[in-house]
Chains A and B, each alone.
Chain A
Amino acid sequence: MATPTKSETMFEEVIDQQLGRRSFLKLTALGIVSAAAATLPAEIAEAAKEAVTKRKFRYGMVIDLRRCVNCKACTIACKLENKTPPGVEYNPVIEEEIGEYPYVKRNWFPKPCFHCENPPCTNVCPVSATYKRPEDGIVVVDYKKCIGCRYCITACPYGARYFDFGENYPAQETDYGKILSPEFKGEYGLRKEGKSPDGNVRKCTFCLHLQDEKGHYSRPPACSETCMAKAIHFGDFGENSDGGCITHQDCNLKQLLVARRWIRLKEELGTEPNVYYLM
């Protein structure tokens, strides 16, 4: 048997790195399905094919830390958009002071849920209440199902999940309390004590209530839309996408990732976050 040439091996390595294990597995799955399709009735084969290619979008963010000015407007916009109670923070700005006077600096970054490709939080749920949506990869919690055991909070390496203790801002007593929550397209409406999402685990949904029926965003998530520095770019990283940013017409997410240096948090865990930070 001929041994592979050096260039062949290198090519394989590159493919391996670029594709990643997941995509490889998916391709393998697709291969198996296609192979099965040859022997199965057409309808079943079609259904199986659809199951594998169900993913239409891979929504994510590219956050430009050079642009971010730590104004925290994203945190506020998120609060107002999703009407989250105190202690439930879908997009806080993490801040840290480094060094000692006179050599001091501050680091900060907005931190939404990263909607990881391999979310460690979903598998731990004992009742499958939290899951990664097959069509767009957004990680959600089904408030009707969640029993509030908080296992997923412990499993998230990024602190993106929060328990709703049923606490309220004083404004809840005013007319503010009569505004329906748009979360999950208004499914949970007015906030009532002891009723979901009170007693549930909550997290950023990439404002999925702003999607239309086909999964396209009518306007970008509140944090991204409000950012005056244009630091939060939101869009689709999916295979079928051209990488165009939904928030800002003049930028392209895929191009940004090629042109700039970026990091994802705790990359070593293999969670594959869908939120990139430009350095």
Chain B
Amino acid sequence: MIKKLLWGVWLVFFGIGAVGVWQRLVYGHHFANYGSFVPWGLWVAAYIYFVGLSAGSFLLSSLIYVFNVKQLEPIGRLSLVTATITLFMALLSIWFDIGHMERFWYVFASPNFHSMMAWMIWLYTAYFILLLAELYTVFQNHSEKQQRIMKILGSIGVPLAIAFHGGVGALFGVVGARIYWHSSMFPILFLTGALTSGGALLLAIVAWFWPHKNVQHQQLVRFLAQITLGLLLFDLLLEWAEISIPLWGGMTEHTASLKLILFGPYWWVFWILHLFMGTLVPIILLLKGLKKPYVAGWGGALIAILFLTVRLNLVIPGQAVPILSGIEEAIKNHRLTTAYVPSLHEWMVLSFIVCLGILVFSLAKRKLNIFHLEAR
């Protein structure tokens, strides 16, 4: 009954999302709220969010295949499937975001390797290919040869995933014009965020959807919860550094974006959604959930879902400060303002992407043995 209800909700959101995608394809960027002063909006934030989930799940899978962490062995397939689906969602998000969707292949045909974006694209293409190779291998029958190939692929994958997701952070970090982004912390912050959100997502999936709720399941959830908790705390530490140092330094240019995050009109995104609902509550749930998988699942889900707020707070405030004072008053136009909030249309397109991801995941869950039950 609940399952039917959930699929009903899914259908509604998928339908709304499909309308959004139709609008995007027919009317271009007309219904989006970003402009020329805040050129990157929800879809870019969604892109780094999904790509983070992907890199995070992938890196956790490498714990199994490269570093022989036996406790995680049952989630090998699951983590790779999750990494692939979330990468697919990320690419879809950024594809809807670009001005000329039909020209996406130009990034391969005429790349500019002075651009961090070009590097990122080439690295995630390599990562995507590697992911498919791993996915193919992991669904083969268990053998020593398979294990060896997985180890080789995983060993290539670890530096690749670090380089590519660090590259996503660097893409922002190298922009000297935006002081808030222009920080060496960004690549590290992105990687930690990826591991935290990816781990949390896997935790939620394992806690809720694992077919056999036995002792092994409980141990698995416990282990994942511990990893996620550790990563979350480490991420919090980095975040503290990223926020406190410029604030203490007190240079207006540095503090402007941070003050927007902490005390601006969308302060609640940081304090309530991220810090309270996405961090404090999950910490309690994870601690409580060490013995109750279902509770830990909620902790993981809250972290994983609300991590979008962290991504939004990385992308938007860097742009929401006028690049020259007085520039907003020069011309009155709704595209020439730093007051950005995603439009309904942008949320609709995101809803489509999320629903599509859920659909592909449940198909994979039904058709493939993603929970790897024959694992020893």
A-side residues, CB < 8 A to B, are 75, 86-89, 92-96, 107-108, 111, 120, 123-129, 145-151, 153-159, 161-167, 193-194, 196, 198-201, 265, 269
Most A C-beta atoms less than 10 A away, residue of B98, B117, B121, B331? B331
Q: Is the beta-carbon distance between A147 and B106 smaller than 8 angstroms?
A: yes
What is the minimal beta-carbon distance from A159 to any residue of chain B, in angstroms? 4
What is the minimal beta-carbon distance from A116 to any residue of chain B, in angstroms? 11
B237 CB–A CB distance under 8 Å = no
B115 CB–A CB distance under 8 Å = yes
Quick one: given A94-B330, A148-B99, A154-B178, are A163 and B115 in contact (CB under 8 Å)? no
Contacts of B249 in A (CB 8 A): none
Contacts of B333 in A (CB 8 A): 86-87
Quick one: given A150-B39, A196-B100, are A126 and B117 in contact (CB under 8 Å)? yes
**B residues 163-197 touching A (CB-CB < 8 Å):** 171, 174-178
Contacts of B319 in A (CB 8 A): 154
- Tally of A-B residue pairs with Cβ under 8 A? 153
Q: Is the beta-carbon distance between A159 and B28 smaller than 8 angstroms?
A: no
Q: Is the beta-carbon distance between B111 and A126 smaller than 8 angstroms?
A: yes
| Option from B30, B98, B326 in Cβ contact (under 8 Å) with A149 | B98
B-side residues, CB < 8 A to A, are 28-30, 35-37, 39-40, 97-100, 103-104, 106-107, 109-112, 114-118, 121, 171, 174-178, 318-319, 322-327, 329-331, 333-336
Contacts of B334 in A (CB 8 A): 87
- Please name 7 further chain A to chain B contacts, defined as beta carbons within 8 Å, in addition to the given A86-B333, A159-B323, A165-B30, sorted by A numbering: A125-B112, A151-B117, A151-B171, A153-B36, A157-B176, A157-B323, A163-B29
The 9 closest A-B pairs by CB, nearest first: A148-B99, A199-B99, A96-B326, A157-B177, A87-B335, A150-B39, A92-B330, A128-B112, A126-B117
Q: Is the beta-carbon distance between B100 and A200 smaller than 8 angstroms?
A: yes
Contacts of B121 in A (CB 8 A): 126
Contacts of A146 in B (CB 8 A): 99-100, 103
Q: Is the beta-carbon distance between B116 and A124 smaller than 8 angstroms?
A: yes
Contacts of B35 in A (CB 8 A): 87, 163, 165
| Option from A92, A127, A194 in Cβ contact (under 8 Å) with B112 | A127
Judged by DSSP, the binding face of B is loop
| Option from B115, B174, B178, B336 in Cβ contact (under 8 Å) with A126 | B115
Q: Is the beta-carbon distance between A96 and B325 smaller than 8 angstroms?
A: yes
Contacts of B30 in A (CB 8 A): 165-167
Contacts of A75 in B (CB 8 A): 331
Contacts of B109 in A (CB 8 A): 127
What is the minimal beta-carbon distance from B56 to any residue of chain A, in angstroms? 24
Q: Is the beta-carbon distance between A92 and B39 smaller than 8 angstroms?
A: no
What is the minimal beta-carbon distance from A271 to any residue of chain B, in angstroms? 9
What is the minimal beta-carbon distance from A113 to any residue of chain B, in angstroms? 13
Contacts of A89 in B (CB 8 A): 330-331, 336
Q: Is the beta-carbon distance between B324 and A159 smaller than 8 angstroms?
A: yes
The complex places the Cα of A6 from the Cα of B276 at a distance, in Å, of 64
Q: Is the beta-carbon distance between A93 and B330 smaller than 8 angstroms?
A: yes
What is the minimal beta-carbon distance from A6 to any residue of chain B, in angstroms? 36
Q: Is the beta-carbon distance between B104 and A127 smaller than 8 angstroms?
A: no
Contacts of B322 in A (CB 8 A): 159
What is the minimal beta-carbon distance from A114 to any residue of chain B, in angstroms? 11
Contacts of A145 in B (CB 8 A): 103, 106, 110
The complex places the Cα of A180 from the Cα of B107 at a distance, in Å, of 30
Contacts of B112 in A (CB 8 A): 123, 125-128
What is the minimal beta-carbon distance from B306 to any residue of chain A, in angstroms? 25
Q: Is the beta-carbon distance between B331 and A92 smaller than 8 angstroms?
A: yes
Q: Is the beta-carbon distance between A123 and B99 smaller than 8 angstroms?
A: no
Contacts of A200 in B (CB 8 A): 99-100
CB-CB nearest in chain B for A131:
B112
Quick one: given A92-B330, A165-B30, A165-B335, are A158 and B324 in contact (CB under 8 Å)? yes
Q: Is the beta-carbon distance between B40 and A150 smaller than 8 angstroms?
A: yes
The complex places the Cα of A194 from the Cα of B26 at a distance, in Å, of 9
Contacts of A107 in B (CB 8 A): 326
What is the minimal beta-carbon distance from B25 to any residue of chain A, in angstroms? 10
CB-CB nearest in chain B for A165:
B29
Contacts of A94 in B (CB 8 A): 324, 326-327, 329-330
The complex places the Cα of A5 from the Cα of B336 at a distance, in Å, of 56
Q: Is the beta-carbon distance between B28 and A165 smaller than 8 angstroms?
A: yes
Q: Is the beta-carbon distance between B115 and A123 smaller than 8 angstroms?
A: yes
Contacts of A151 in B (CB 8 A): 115, 117, 171
What is the minimal beta-carbon distance from A160 to any residue of chain B, in angstroms? 9
Contacts of A87 in B (CB 8 A): 35-36, 331, 333-336
CB-CB nearest in chain A for B26:
A194
Most A C-beta atoms less than 10 A away, residue of B97, B99, B171? B99
Contacts of A156 in B (CB 8 A): 177, 323
Contacts of B327 in A (CB 8 A): 92, 94, 111, 159
Would you give 10 A-B contacts (Cβ < 8 Å), ordered by A?
A: A87-B331, A95-B330, A111-B327, A124-B116, A125-B115, A128-B110, A155-B176, A193-B28, A199-B100, A200-B99
